[in-house]
Amino acid sequence: MQFIDQIFEESPNPTYIKDSQGRIIWANTAYALLNGCSLAQLLEKGALDFDFSCDRDLEVLCSDEISEIEEFYKLADGSGAWYLTVKKPIVQQNGERCLFSTSSEITNLKETIQVAEDSFAAKEKFLADVSSELEAPVNAIISLVRLLKQTFISKDQKRYLNSVLSISDYLLDVPKDVLEYARVEAGVLDSTSEVVDVVPFMGRIIQSLTSKAAEQGVNIKFTEPLVKLPLVEVNPVYLDLVLVKIIKCAIRYTKTKEVQLSVFQKEKLEDTLYLQFSIHNIGLDQNAEVLSKLFNSENTQQAHNKYKRNGIDLGVYTCKKLIDLQGGKVWLEESDGQGKSIEFILPFPIMQNLLAEQNKSPQYDKVLHSEQSDTLNLLLVDASESSQELIKRQIQHWNTSVAIAKSGEEGVKLAAHVSYDLILVDTENPGVNAFETVALIRKSGSLNQFTPIVAFTSSTNDTDIEKYREVGFTDYLRKPYHAFDLYLCISKNTGHYAREQQQIRNKEIEQEPPLFDFSGLGNMADDAVFIRKMQKLFIDIVPGQISKLSHAVHRQEWETVALIAHSLKSTYGNIKVVKAAEAMKKVEELSNTRTNLSELTKLIVIVKDTTQKVIDVFSKELETIK
């Protein structure tokens, strides 16, 4: 034992042991130095002045699992160091539980990863800039071609214009495909997951591609499975990407007039459902052999080489790799009497006992008809004459009128004298920019202060979309768009289905759990004095913790974010403030994984709003007692 003690004592890895009460009963010099104190002082006190690991250690002590976390320490010289810490509960011979914790420095590894991430971020920005530069002229071409197709033209001319549209769509996809390819190759994968009903999920995607397919003279037919599929957990980003790219591939290369899609349960093993997706009735020509070799290649590098040599869409190759990474399989198959078919299988975890979630799942089968639109008065702020003509043609049968403003200044002047049902603003107008235009329209006392305003944008960046909402835009519509997309946007923002949406909101309010609940405190819940003290502590302490959390997020101090979120999660959990507790759990997860960091702002807003509601109730109750 002395030999083992000597090894840990002289080890450069900070190590300590805590008893069942969370008191430090042993530590080595490396741990004491890391925390800026002497070993003798540490062991005498049995604790650190600021022990951010206290709650986490107690959780590990109560479990039988090993915990691994990354921790950041600020050193005395002002620099910082990263450590990978392993915590493990151990049981002594007398039955007492202790916690063993040891850390290894990983600063160099983290710095290497950061350099790689910075490099990838630079690539992302470059590709985003390229995409932005391409989108404006290509969208102009698409708009003009669609206008031309509505004139009297021959079949050959229509076929040529369809080819131009297909090429234009492909050009718009290239930067996005390159970016997705770079992400997959670099291992930068999105870990987002959600519970969905796969059939409506596919229905939404097919609906979004129907117009594009029609431009190529292709009809998409979706055959739903005969047996209802259970709810499954999916990565919506990747499933959407795979389905869109594979369907587009079928549309682009087929020589038939109809592409048929179906999905069915291939196999069910315990809690995993294997779904087979089929895109058939594809009359491929010379591309069949190339696609077959790409899909059937078992070796990723071989598939990559086939992709480069044969010029198959980069997006299709990326989908092949994404399917492989998810444990699936894709292949090209000869179907009797139906030409070729693209088949792929993906595994999904089955979500049990989620009937309530099923009732809440998105419904994509509602079809809107232009005849439903009431007389609407619209304002379009767009400098492009081709865009103006396109919108006029698209809405000409919808019983609407549209006023045109060719600049932001003109749009503000019109909005100052006429009340509109909806305002459409192109975000790339010259002169007064879109943000300034909306700010001026939204000013107090304006006729259109509360009028819905929709942004027409070429941006695919979610951060930009959030900025639009922050400055006063109600919604957005990405270019290029189809008439159905425009009508759906107008319908949604001018009151259609408002009554139905209000009913849905009312049901959600009825089903919403209580704001807080002290029943989890056991007998203490009946102690009025104790409850009042808890309420007072909540009011005094929690807002300050939320403020520290917001500052830590702003400074990107993710270790601090995780620690504060963990503490707040317990605080909210004790009195069952469900919304805030769930939000803090998500904040802790995101700060530890460094993924989807854009969600943090939304989560903190939820926590602030919920906390304020709780504080308002607590304050009133405390005032009543006084």
Q: Does 3.30.450.20 match the CATH number of domain 2-105?
A: yes
Task: Look up the CATH superfamily of 114-354.
Answer: Histidine kinase-like ATPase, C-terminal domain (3.30.565.10)
Q: What is the percent of the chain where pLDDT is above 90? A: 0
Distances (CA, A) of 434 to 64, 305, 472, 479: 56, 45, 10, 16
**Cα–Cα distance between 558 and 564 in angstroms, integer?**
10
**Cα–Cα distance between 261 and 259 in angstroms, integer?**
7
For the chain, give every domain's residue range.
2-105, 114-354, 370-497, 519-625
- What's the whole-number average pLDDT of the chain? 76
Q: For the chain, give the number of residues.
A: 626
CATH number attached to the domain at 370-497: 3.40.50.2300
Neighbours of 240 (CB within 10 A): 16
pLDDT score of 305 more than 60: no
**Cα–Cα distance between 348 and 272 in angstroms, integer?**
6
**Cα–Cα distance between 294 and 448 in angstroms, integer?**
55
Lowest mean pLDDT among 59-73, 113-127, 412-426: 113-127
pLDDT band at 497 (very low <50, low <70, confident <90, very high): very low
| Phi and psi torsions of 33, nearest 5° | -65, -40
Neighbours of 623 (CB within 10 A): 8
- Looking at residue 335, what is its pLDDT? 62
Is 186 in contact with 192 (CB distance < 8 Å)?
no
pLDDT score of 304 more than 70: no
Is 282 in contact with 241 (CB distance < 8 Å)?
no
pLDDT score of 3 more than 60: no
pLDDT band at 336 (very low <50, low <70, confident <90, very high): low
The DSSP code for 58 is H
Mean pLDDT for the stretch of residues 196-212: 85
Is 203 in contact with 341 (CB distance < 8 Å)?
no
* HSE-CB for 562 with a 13 A CA cutoff: 16
Mean pLDDT for the stretch of residues 563-591: 86
Whether 114-354 and 2-105 are alike in CATH topology: the answer is no
| Alpha helices for 18-102 (secondary structure H) | 29-34, 39-45, 54-62
Give pLDDT tens digits for 264-296: 888 888 778 889 998 876 665 545 566 666 666
- Looking at residue 38, what is its pLDDT? 85
> What CATH architecture does domain 519-625 belong to?
Up-down Bundle (1.20)
**Cα–Cα distance between 568 and 591 in angstroms, integer?**
14
In which residue are the tokens 């870990």 written? Answer: 191
Strands 422-426 and 453-457: parallel
pLDDT band at 319 (very low <50, low <70, confident <90, very high): confident
Give pLDDT tens digits for 342-392: 888 888 888 654 333 334 433 333 333 344 445 788 999 888 777 777 788
Give pLDDT tens digits for 507-533: 555 556 678 887 766 666 777 777 888
Nearest to 283 by CA among 250, 261, 260, 255: 255
Give pLDDT tens digits for 89-103: 888 878 788 888 888
3-class DSSP state for residue 197?
coil
Give pLDDT tens digits for 8-44: 677 888 888 888 888 888 888 888 888 888 888 888 8
Give pLDDT tens digits for 233-272: 888 888 888 888 888 877 777 777 788 888 988 888 877 8
